[in-house]
Amino acid sequence: MAEAQSAPTEKTINIHKDFKEHSVAEFFKKNRQMLGYSGKIVSLTTVIHEYVTNALDACEEAGILPEIYVKLDKLGHEHYKLIVEDNGPGIPKKLVGKVFATMLAGTKFHVFKQARGQQGIGAAGAVMFAQETTGKPTKIITGQGNNEVHEMRVAIDLKTNSAAISDEKIYSGRMRGTRVETELKHVLYQKSEQGPDEYIRRTMLVNPHAKLTYMDPDSITTVYDRASGQIPKQPKEAKPHPKGLETSDLMAYATKTKARSVASFLESEFTRMSNAKTKEIQDRVAFDMNKRPQDLRWEEAEQVCQAIEKISFIAPPTDVLIPIGQNNLEKALENILTPEFKDILTRPAGIFRGGVPFQIEVAIAYGGKSGKVGEAELEQLGEAKKDNIEIMRFANRTPLLFDSGGCAITKAIQSVDWKRYEIRPENPLTIMVNFTSIHVPYTGAGKQSIASEDEVLKEIRLALMEVGRKVGRYVAGKKKMYEQEQKKKTLEMYIKPVADSLAKITGESAERLESQLRQIIEAKYSAELEEAPEPEVEEEADEIPDEVAHELE
């Protein structure tokens, strides 16, 4: 006979008495490392990143060539004041609180459109960090060029995830743009690969249409002049592509559509979906697609997704993705890295999970100021730097400085056998990869690492191998020229003694014989270099190596 269960105790009955709801602002306050505030150097760079990114976005969306001013003052031990000002359209007074002090509020999260920011967390996260480390609100000054300037201090009410605004002022002025002044503690300024200087340098490398003036804590001013006077085109709002759709995605879209049938829902809500394609899908599913989308069952949605995978679709429209562009990248590389060789490649658009289109751009620069230490610095050191290859990761023209280990870009670069392309770790080389997409699959809210989607890894790898072959041919050719030059110099060492000896034997002028010998050697090596075939570079398989594939699994 089973033992009788004991009566519930008072403690058991009240087990849920402490159950409470929390605002998203309270959550990120306790987990601010998820927003990128995980170290003293990283935290400072993250704040600058959020405000500079907002400034670039605001200017571009308004059709204004960006002019941005960044100033960083040291106030004390691990205590800084940051000023970021732009010449953008300004912010209406009623939206200032939403922009700077409400988590998950903005214009981008709900729109299927390419943008630097996605989540509506960045600026509010920066205000929260300043508030939590100094106890002070952030000062905002903004004007829309209408003779009215709004000034206020903004903080976040963590319990309600809303703005707490104080010291409001309105005064006359022709200001157009936004100025942010904030104090930060428990942060550290360093000239390092993860510091503000490097973040700004990389930002200007992929945004050549912007001008940025930066004053560091040592009062050293650096001006990055714009290398291009062309504002990037604004990407159009897109529809998801059928390829890569998962059942959950299809079910979510079906609940929101205004279409009256599954067939018309597919045609209206997805790009490249024609009437002919829906008929192909109908032939492959076991239900009538005239039913209401809201009545679609999970099993039926699975059938649709399986049918889509078996059908060919045209690639997504090119006007929904705006990469940096070859001309802009060439100007930026010349402006900042001045390389002796460069190659730029933009891959055709692809699709990853969820029907999201993306595009990969890769640029490779050799010599000049390329590499962690430029060519001139290498010569001054007198020895090769063991790890001199510089890797620059970007997403929608925004630098990714942190969390590189788990990033798809890093993994793709590591999967390439660079020795096949005559590339060694000590070479003065910079490899840039920009991931452009309507939705960047970041691994966390800090937006510093791209998830390793199979399609993304493959596209990055293919682009890297193509530019690798070109730089490999250049490096191999340069190596051959160096070897020929050394042989030539060795022979030239013997010209004078040989000429003197011949002069004694033949009675000819030693100077004349020396000149003839020089001409013979010069002609020989010039002809050899001109007739030499282009160096061969060993091909590499397109497949991702087993060790990388195993890690992804």
> Count of CB atoms within 10 A of residue 330's CB?
17
pLDDT confidence band for 548 (50 / 70 / 90): very low
The burial class, CB within 10 Å (0-12 / 13-18 / 19+), for 161 is buried
Gap between the Cα atoms of 466 and 343, Å rounded: 10
21 or 35, which is more confident?
Answer: 35
Do 220 and 279 share a domain, yes or no?
Answer: no
Do 328 and 282 share a domain, yes or no?
Answer: no
Say yes or no to pLDDT of 307 above 90. yes
Do 217 and 294 share a domain, yes or no?
Answer: no
Q: Is 447 left (phi over 0), alpha (psi -120 to 50) or beta?
A: left
Do 303 and 362 share a domain, yes or no?
Answer: no
Say yes or no to pLDDT of 389 above 80. yes
**Two tokens, residue 229:** 């006077």
Per-residue pLDDT tens over the stretch 41-69 = 989 999 999 999 999 999 998 999 999 99
Per-residue CA distances from 21 to 18, 128, 159, 161 (Å): 10, 20, 10, 12
Do 129 and 276 share a domain, yes or no?
Answer: no
> Count of CB atoms within 10 A of residue 288's CB?
11
Do 202 and 296 share a domain, yes or no?
Answer: no
Do 305 and 328 share a domain, yes or no?
Answer: no
Say yes or no to pLDDT of 363 above 90. yes
Residues 6+ apart with CB under 8 A from 187: 40, 41, 43, 44, 47, 78, 80, 133
- CATH number assigned to the domain comprising residue 408: 3.30.230.10
Let me know: does 465 contact 544? Beta carbons within 8 Å: no
> Count of CB atoms within 10 A of residue 148's CB?
16
Gap between the Cα atoms of 349 and 353, Å rounded: 14
Domain-located, residue 483: no
Instruction: Say if strands 176-185 and 138-144 run parallel, antiparallel, or are unpaired.
Output: antiparallel
Say yes or no to pLDDT of 37 above 80. no
Helix axes 275-284, 262-269, angle to 10 degrees: 130
400 or 373, which is more confident?
Answer: 400
Instruction: Say if strands 356-366 and 350-352 run parallel, antiparallel, or are unpaired.
Output: antiparallel
The burial class, CB within 10 Å (0-12 / 13-18 / 19+), for 234 is middle
Per-residue pLDDT tens over the stretch 340-353 = 999 999 999 888 87
500 or 34, which is more confident?
Answer: 500
Domain-located, residue 251: yes
Per-residue model confidence (pLDDT) at position 513: 81
Let me know: does 301 contact 246? Beta carbons within 8 Å: no
99 or 545, which is more confident?
Answer: 99
Q: Rounded to 5 degrees, what are φ and ψ at 18? A: -95, 10
Q: State mean pLDDT over 273-278.
A: 94
Dihedral of CA atoms 305, 307, 309, 310 in degrees, nearest 10, equals 180
Say yes or no to pLDDT of 77 above 60. yes
Say yes or no to pLDDT of 381 above 70. no
Per-residue model confidence (pLDDT) at position 529: 56
Gap between the Cα atoms of 49 and 70, Å rounded: 11
Do 158 and 288 share a domain, yes or no?
Answer: no
**Least confident residue range of 48-62, 107-121, 250-264, 487-501:** 107-121
Gap between the Cα atoms of 140 and 132, Å rounded: 18
Domain-located, residue 354: yes
Gap between the Cα atoms of 387 and 210, Å rounded: 31
Let me know: does 67 contact 87? Beta carbons within 8 Å: yes
Domain-located, residue 379: yes
Q: Which domain holds residue 263?
A: 247-309
Say yes or no to pLDDT of 383 above 70. no
User: Whole-prediction pTM value?
Assistant: 0.73
Question: What percentage of the chain reaches a pLDDT higher than 70?
Answer: 81
The number of folded domains in the chain is: 3
Q: What does the DSSP assignment read for 98-115?
A: HHHH-TT-SSSTTS-S--
Identify any residues that bridge with 92 across adjacent strands, giving them in sequence order: none
Domain-located, residue 159: yes
Let me know: does 98 contact 63? Beta carbons within 8 Å: no
Do 331 and 468 share a domain, yes or no?
Answer: yes
Per-chain mean pLDDT for the chain: 83
Do 293 and 388 share a domain, yes or no?
Answer: no
Per-residue model confidence (pLDDT) at position 190: 92
Gap between the Cα atoms of 168 and 154, Å rounded: 10
Gap between the Cα atoms of 421 and 472, Å rounded: 4
User: Position of tokens 């927003």?
Assistant: 35
Per-residue pLDDT tens over the stretch 85-139 = 999 999 999 999 888 877 555 444 445 567 665 544 778 888 988 998 999 999 9
Instruction: Say if strands 398-400 and 67-76 run parallel, antiparallel, or are unpaired.
Output: unpaired
Per-residue model confidence (pLDDT) at position 89: 95
Domain-located, residue 14: no
Do 384 and 430 share a domain, yes or no?
Answer: yes
Do 210 and 72 share a domain, yes or no?
Answer: yes
Q: Strand, coil or helix: what is 433?
A: strand
pLDDT confidence band for 294 (50 / 70 / 90): very high
Last residue of a domain, one of 193, 224, 255: 224
Q: State mean pLDDT over 31-36.
A: 58
**Least confident residue range of 42-51, 312-321, 397-406, 475-484:** 475-484
Say yes or no to pLDDT of 2 above 50. no
Say yes or no to pLDDT of 551 above 80. no
Gap between the Cα atoms of 223 and 242, Å rounded: 45
342 or 9, which is more confident?
Answer: 342
Per-residue model confidence (pLDDT) at position 552: 42
Say yes or no to pLDDT of 478 above 80. no
Say yes or no to pLDDT of 532 above 90. no
Per-residue model confidence (pLDDT) at position 380: 63
Domain-located, residue 375: yes
Last residue of a domain, one of 224, 258, 293: 224
Total length of the chain: 553
Per-residue model confidence (pLDDT) at position 538: 54
**Two tokens, residue 180:** 């942010």
Let me know: does 59 contact 86? Beta carbons within 8 Å: yes
Last residue of a domain, one of 270, 288, 309: 309
In angstroms and rounded to an integer, the radius of gyration of the C-alpha atoms of the chain is: 30
H or E segment and range at residue 73:
strand 67-76
Say yes or no to pLDDT of 482 above 70. no
Adjacency order of strands within the sheet including 221-224: 162-171, 149-157, 138-144, 176-185, 79-86, 67-76, 211-215, 221-224
Q: State mean pLDDT over 477-505.
A: 78
> Count of CB atoms within 10 A of residue 70's CB?
23
Domain-located, residue 214: yes
